[in-house]
């Protein structure tokens, strides 16, 4: 009987330790959403690869009304992430020393989600990965595709 109690206490201790480490890992994630395609995760600046979202100060026009589409893209990303844990797959660094990565919430690509919702564009200059998502958003008149807009790369060049 004594040996069984020791085994039970040992197993319970192991389960508690694993549980506490898992909870600590989830709670220790520090996140700041910078804009629609850039986050700070645990002190690292991460730029989503293969997509481009409107700049925060960029506006679009829908039915004659100004829409801050860059702010909207950021909010859509914040809402999608919610309190979930983000997992990123690094693909290197850019010339600004940011980590280039594709990031996921609940195994769903945030980049794909943003492009498919119409608030990000497939950044064809660097990747062909999200073209199908962009075609879907465009065909269904979603997000910025329902507005008059300037592509983010053109907005940056012109402003």
Q: Among residues of the chain, what percentage have pLDDT more than 70?
A: 82
- Name the average pLDDT for the chain: 89
CA dihedral 116, 47, 39, 105 (to 10 degrees): 50
- CA-nearest of 154, 153, 113 to 136 is 113
pLDDT of the residue at 20: 44
pLDDT of the residue at 128: 94
pTM over the 0.95 mark: no
pLDDT of the residue at 15: 52
* Structural domain spans, the chain: 31-158
Architecture of domain 31-158: Beta Barrel (2.40)
Tokens encoding 128: 């062909």
pLDDT in tens, 61-78: 999 999 999 999 999 999
- CA-nearest of 82, 79, 68, 81 to 144 is 68
91 versus 6: the higher-pLDDT residue is 91
pLDDT in tens, 11-55: 555 554 445 444 444 446 899 999 999 999 999 999 999 999 999
Tokens encoding 151: 């592509």
- CA-nearest of 70, 91, 71, 75 to 150 is 70
Q: How far apart are CA 116 and CA 129, in angstroms?
A: 12
Q: How many residues does the chain have?
A: 159
Q: How far apart are CA 84 and CA 77, in angstroms?
A: 12
| Beta pairing, strands 86-93 & 99-105 | antiparallel
């Amino acid at each position: 009987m004594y040996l069984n109690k020791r085994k039970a206490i040992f197993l319970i201790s192991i389960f508690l330790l694993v549980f506490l480490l898992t909870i600590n890992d989830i709670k220790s994630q520090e996140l700041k959403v910078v804009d629609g395609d850039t986050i700070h995760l645990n002190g690292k600046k991460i730029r989503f690869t293969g997509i481009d979202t409107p700049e925060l100060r960029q506006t679009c026009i829908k039915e004659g009304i100004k829409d801050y589409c860059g702010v909207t893209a950021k909010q859509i990303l914040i809402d999608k992430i919610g309190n979930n844990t983000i997992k990123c797959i690094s693909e290197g660094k850019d010339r600004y020393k940011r980590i280039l990565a594709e990031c996921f919430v609940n195994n769903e690509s945030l980049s794909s989600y943003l492009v498919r919702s119409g608030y990000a564009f497939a950044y064809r200059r660097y990747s062909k990965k999200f073209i199908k998502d962009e075609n879907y958003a465009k065909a269904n008149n979603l997000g910025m595709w329902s507005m008059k807009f300037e592509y983010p790369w053109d907005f940056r060049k012109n402003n």
